[in-house]
Amino acid sequence: MRDSLQRETETMPHNVVLIIVDGLAWRVVHPAMQQGRLPFFAAIEERGFATPCQSIYPSITPAATASLVTGAPPVKHGVQGAFWYDQAIDDVEYFGGAPRVMLREGLSTVVDDFVQTLNDDLLRVPTLYEHLAASGKDSANLNLMWRRGPVPHDLQAPLLLKLLPGVTWDRPVAGPDRLMLGDFISLDLPGDAQVDYPSGPLNRFGFNDQATLKHLEALLRSDSQSAVTVAYCPDNDFDSHARGPATALETVQQVDQALQAIARERGGLDAWLSDTAIIIVGDHGHDDLLDDADARDISVEGLFADEPIAMPGDSWDDTQALYVCSNMRSAQICVREERFSDLRHLASLALGDGRVDQAIWKNGEVNRFCIRTRDRGELRFSPVAAPESAEGRGDAADAQHVVDDNGRRWAISGSLSAVDADVDSEGRLSYGDYPDALQRIASGAPGRQAALWLTARPGCQFVVNGGERYQGGSHGSLHRNDSETVLTAAGVGRPASNPASITDVVDMCLAAVGAGRQAAAPRDSGQETAVGA
């Protein structure tokens, strides 16, 4: 499939601009494109295509954008959400924005994790920038947290953060050929040109749409465009959380207007597309939350009131039975190894709350999963990638073999209603409200370790003491609202997966510039799985 994509794009433009708009909900954005409210997005679709695109699980920005920039799912790249316990290294990782959790963890740790740990220690597969470098192509990154590449860049400490103890600022970090990361790393432009953009603590230290798009405009104007330029626009996600995705559409319209202005400066969209392919993609969608906080917010601690639980941001000591990590509309419930057999019991406790939609866990050493619901039954499944015995795979005795739209085979038993799926007379699997659910579970965070994952029903979210609580929109679950984002592009081949997946985007970029996945893995992912990207 990747070879055919390569052949399909041999005569396509030499450069790619990949614009990632955080939280683009297909159900909101595509109708707006059709109604003429997003003319630049619509013009890209007219000259290319637009399709719903599935996020990974959990559909959370750090994990999803890692998939966008690596072409790998969480089971391979290792990033399991925004907040998770990593059993392999016995450590808790937090990349959210809740002040109380950050204070418990320590501000210096939070900053150091963002500056170094996220890319250099946790990401276990090569990035788009590393593949391009191995193919002799250059690249640029404007404001995306995932920056690992072959070129050293100097850090600069924002004044407010300069005095934090434990953060080493006088060291280079590795990135693509051209890199801008908010107020932390400045973009080198010809003639020492400067870009005036919203900066400082009131503007998220330069991590905002205006900063990204002004730097994109300056980079293109300088005629020093890279083979692939990644530009990340975060504002829509913040505004969708605060006001809901429909109201936040005006933020997406501002991105559209800025791209129209860039196109005009380049002689119009068709002139721009004559030498540059353009891809616009989100990392996940957004669900609309209920207005009533009592109905909306599920206290994860409350689900397990009789269990001693570690506080979010604290270390996990031996006196605490559980460590809970909320990821908005999903939650990870971690237990010690000796309590892996209790996951089913913990699932029953959680499903006692009618707002909990699904409880998901992996059966120990065997690559077999269980999805349990309160009122739609239980489904057990495992990927089938080789003709070994059912016993070797851990299939149930009554397992039925089915195939999905991508040709992946699964052994299933129990109720497909748990993921709103059906099987036709030829054994072909189709999905309703939980698109590509089996693949996204097996290749997602549940595939990396034995833990209980919970999803919330539409309109609801998980909360922990001191964690984020949203009032407008949210995401993180397997549901279509959270999972279905936008992929629209012109000048590149169509995505390989059906339905399209955010893991397809790296290969689309590489094929468009005549490159491939050539970089060596920085470290072993520590996972043996039959589930591919």
What pLDDT sits at residue 98? 62
- Average pLDDT, stretch 325-347? 91
Asked if residues 75 and 529 have their Cβ atoms less than 8 Å apart, the reply is yes
Chain centroid, CA 104 distance in Å: 25
Which sign does the torsion angle of CA 13, 17, 20, 21 carry?
negative
Domain ranges of the chain: 2-77+126-158+175-289+477-512, 293-470
526 confidence band (pLDDT: 50, 70, 90): very low
User: Which 8-state DSSP code applies to residue 181?
Assistant: B
List CB contacts of 247: < 8 A, sequence separation 6 or more: 239, 472
Token pair belonging to 435: 């698109």
149: nearest Cα among 234, 87, 228, 92: 228
- Average pLDDT, stretch 167-185? 89
Can you identify the CATH homologous superfamily of domain 2-77+126-158+175-289+477-512? Alkaline Phosphatase, subunit A (3.40.720.10)
- Average pLDDT, stretch 258-277? 97
What pLDDT sits at residue 95? 82
408-467, pLDDT tens digit by residue?
999 999 999 999 999 999 999 999 999 999 999 999 999 988 899 999 999 999 999 878
Query: Beta-carbon neighbour count of residue 366 at 10 Å?
Result: 12
Global pTM value: 0.92
158 confidence band (pLDDT: 50, 70, 90): confident
User: CA-CA distances (angstroms) from residue 173 to 74, 157, 194, 212?
Assistant: 23, 13, 21, 20
| Antiparallel, parallel or unpaired: β 421-423 and 400-403 | unpaired
Asked if residues 445 and 359 have their Cβ atoms less than 8 Å apart, the reply is no
Query: What is the spatial distance between Cα 364 and Cα 360, in angstroms, rounded to a whole number?
Result: 13
Token pair belonging to 104: 């418990």
Query: What is the spatial distance between Cα 136 and Cα 245, in angstroms, rounded to a whole number?
Result: 40
- The string of DSSP letters for 101-137 reads HHHHH-HHHHHHIIIIIIIIII--S--HHHHHHHTT-
Chain centroid, CA 304 distance in Å: 28
What pLDDT sits at residue 467? 81
Query: Beta-carbon neighbour count of residue 421 at 10 Å?
Result: 22
Query: Beta-carbon neighbour count of residue 353 at 10 Å?
Result: 17
Helix (H) or strand (E) holding 509: helix 505-512
HSE-up (13 A, CA, CB side) for residue 325: 28
What pLDDT sits at residue 8? 46
What pLDDT sits at residue 315? 77
